[in-house]
Amino acid sequence: MLTRRIQGQKGVQGIIIVNSEGIPVKTTLDNSSTVQYAGLIHQLVMKARSTVRDIDPQNDLTFLRVRSKKNEIMIAPDKDYFLIVIQNPSD
């Protein structure tokens, strides 16, 4: 399965799949982390998507990478879901 292949990558700390309502449907993290990530990232993705569309209504968000001091969060949005992968790029 896709998540197993990603999970097997070096440095991957967690994978969460969130549906269009922002509800996590699959996760490799504990419950409270999952809920926190899902909620916060759902908001961020919605804002990123509207930013792209405000600049050009014909354009659309395809990927988002949030790099911080400690790790990197990658988000691949799809029509009905989005895939969140948290990785430590230093590993």
Partner 1 sequence: MAQVEETLKRIEASKGVIGTILVNAEGIPIRTTLDNSTTVQYAELLCQLSMLARTTVRDIDPQNDLTFLRIRSKKHEIMVALENNYLLIVIQNPCE
- Residues of this chain that interact with partner 1 (CB under 8 A) are 36-37, 40-41, 43-44, 47-48, 51-52, 54-56, 58-71
The residue (of 6 and 35) whose beta carbon lies closer to partner 1 is 35
Q: Which residues of 44-77 are buried (b: 16+ CB within 10 A; e: fewer)?
A: ebeebbeeeeeeeeeeebeebeeeeeebbbbbbb
The residue (of 1 and 68) whose beta carbon lies closer to partner 1 is 68
Work out how close the CB of 42 gets to partner 1 at its nearest, in angstroms, rounded to a whole number: 10
